[in-house]
Structure 1
């Protein structure tokens, strides 16, 4: 039996293509952002840790993607290369966007000086990284009639948004716990957890090319899951405000005066309001997801 030898060849075209140039800019912008902050040690607390993690994580994974495509190792990776890069790019948009909002909000010093200049520069490069990742998502998402991975479609990209929004809800609802005052609020937490887990499962199945493991057709599973998520989030959208802002159910309809004293963090009432808004945002995302999933025919994951 003849022996087939394979040689690894580099693909320089991947670096000078439009998407490759965008990824090089992403590496540059995120590297400059975290380098400026690290140079002046201009971050602290968990919010600062999140900003640094976002920039460093996006920098490292983008560099990995560039290396894999330059070396032509896509076929050897244990993930679907039709789904992984754009899935990461969508999460990178959300991570860099959150860092671009959080960092100046919590760390931009009011006094002018060298520290402030570094912080402004870091925020600027974080915003540039966000724009670069948005461009990558726009360039690599599925076009009409194109056969590609599920995560490159609108419902696939929405899965990333839904999971990210759920993560933000978990942060607000758990520090301190504001769901243990009533069983109805625990139900809302269960809704957020169930939908989050199912969205993560869909992403893992697509990126890992494991959709064939499902006992039913993947498109039917997506439609059923989207319908379930809409119903669950619709109920949470009603229950959460009732038991947090209705005085008859132990809620507080108006913002307490004590919330004004919170300069570096949100008070309980602000977090309750933020969760209500994010619940509405995710409900809209799931409704759009359901509409797209119900008419999705082309999928090849």
Structure 2
């Protein structure tokens, strides 16, 4: 078994240079946004969390690969190539959503800071997209789950669920909408648990039950919950609540509720697709 040791060639590789660029740009974006102001809006907080976590993940990946620790991880725990590709995909989605949110909510003609942060966020997204593209085109890297179709669908499900949860508004004192929050919240940890279990291949093989059948149960629960939310949220959000004439996209509650409605149907479609493909066994799942 190869022991961990420092690898200068890894540190000076194009991949490490890309990681360094991601770290620098994300940190600068985080700092500029923090200095610019503290709106304490859920979208702003979400963006700050993304710009804070992404460089940490890139730094950890760089350190692990620099000391060849990933070779030990591959032996004992999981497929490192699959994991890092999945993280790059998730970072691409998250930084893209930050760019859209910041451009919509915190930018104006005279807002120099807003424009600066948005441009920096675009660069962050581009860097992570480049890494994702490089990883997917590299034939030497494996794609066992996260980087393949099953895991990609799961990542999309988790991503859309996060967007829904940070967009929830106008639900207080309304029991049907409170139920919708439960319907949105429950599938997310189930999805994350499925992703983690499939990434940890060694642990997956040691389980006394079929993870595929458990995934099927999780998907059925998620689909049923999202069906209720798809009916209740638009019904009780827009009942007697037409779109106001003066409804700017960056501060209109009605528009945000519409975003939740739209994302609900998107995620319902993803879960239904995932369930169908899992049942048919054409997504890389081996039925047992």
Shorter-chain TM band: 0.7 to 0.9
Query: Is residue 141–residue 153 contact of structure 1 (8 Å, CA) maintained in 2?
Result: no
Query: Is residue 36–residue 119 contact of structure 1 (8 Å, CA) maintained in 2?
Result: no
Residue 163 of structure 1 corresponds to which residue in structure 2? Answer: 158
Query: Is residue 15–residue 66 contact of structure 1 (8 Å, CA) maintained in 2?
Result: no
Q: Are residues 7 and 24 of structure 1, via their aligned partners in 2, closer, same or farther at CA, if it must alter by over 3 Å?
A: closer
Query: Is residue 23–residue 58 contact of structure 2 (8 Å, CA) maintained in 1?
Result: yes
Q: Are residues 212 and 124 of structure 1, via their aligned partners in 2, closer, same or farther at CA, if it must alter by over 3 Å?
A: same
Alpha-carbon shift at residue 198 of structure 1 (Å): 0.7
Cα root mean square deviation, aligned: 3.3
Query: Is residue 83–residue 206 contact of structure 1 (8 Å, CA) maintained in 2?
Result: no
Query: Is residue 179–residue 189 contact of structure 1 (8 Å, CA) maintained in 2?
Result: no
Alpha-carbon shift at residue 7 of structure 1 (Å): 5.9
Equivalent of 1:254, from 239, 242, 246? 242
Between the aligned partners of 1:224 and 1:285, the Cα distance in structure 2 is: 16
| 1:11-68 Cα distance to aligned partner (Å, 9 max, x none) | 5146424x44433332243233234445xx1131234343233222211211221121
| 1:154-202 Cα distance to aligned partner (Å, 9 max, x none) | 22122222122212222233x55x06413x4344333212211210211
| 1:246-277 Cα distance to aligned partner (Å, 9 max, x none) | xxxxx2251145x63x786342x333322111
Equivalent of 1:296, from 275, 283, 286? 283
Query: Is residue 83–residue 147 contact of structure 2 (8 Å, CA) maintained in 1?
Result: no
| 1:220-264 Cα distance to aligned partner (Å, 9 max, x none) | 33344334433432332233223333xxxxx2251145x63x786
TM-score by length of 2: 0.79
Equivalent of 1:200, from 174, 192, 207? 192
Residue 66 of structure 2 corresponds to which residue in structure 1? Answer: 70
Q: Are residues 238 and 214 of structure 1, via their aligned partners in 2, closer, same or farther at CA, if it must alter by over 3 Å?
A: farther
Query: Is residue 11–residue 69 contact of structure 1 (8 Å, CA) maintained in 2?
Result: no
Q: Are residues 263 and 195 of structure 1, via their aligned partners in 2, closer, same or farther at CA, if it must alter by over 3 Å?
A: closer
Residue 219 of structure 1 corresponds to which residue in structure 2? Answer: 212
The secondary structure found in structure 2 opposite 1:151 is coil
Between the aligned partners of 2:217 and 2:200, the Cα distance in structure 1 is: 21
- Gaps of at least 5 residues in structure 2 are none
Residue 12 of structure 1 corresponds to which residue in structure 2? Answer: 9
Between the aligned partners of 2:36 and 2:266, the Cα distance in structure 1 is: 32
Matched, 1:50 2:42: no
TM-score by length of 1: 0.76
Alpha-carbon shift at residue 208 of structure 1 (Å): 4.3
Residue 19 of structure 2 corresponds to which residue in structure 1? Answer: 23
Query: Is residue 26–residue 59 contact of structure 1 (8 Å, CA) maintained in 2?
Result: yes
Between the aligned partners of 1:233 and 1:143, the Cα distance in structure 2 is: 37
Between the aligned partners of 1:142 and 1:149, the Cα distance in structure 2 is: 15
- Gaps of at least 5 residues in structure 1 are 246-250
Max radius of gyration: which structure? Answer: 1
Moved more, 132-141 or 280-289: 132-141
Task: Give the 5 Å matches for 1:245-284.
Answer: 245=238, 251-257=239-245, 260=247, 265-267=251-253, 269-284=254-269
Between the aligned partners of 1:212 and 1:199, the Cα distance in structure 2 is: 19
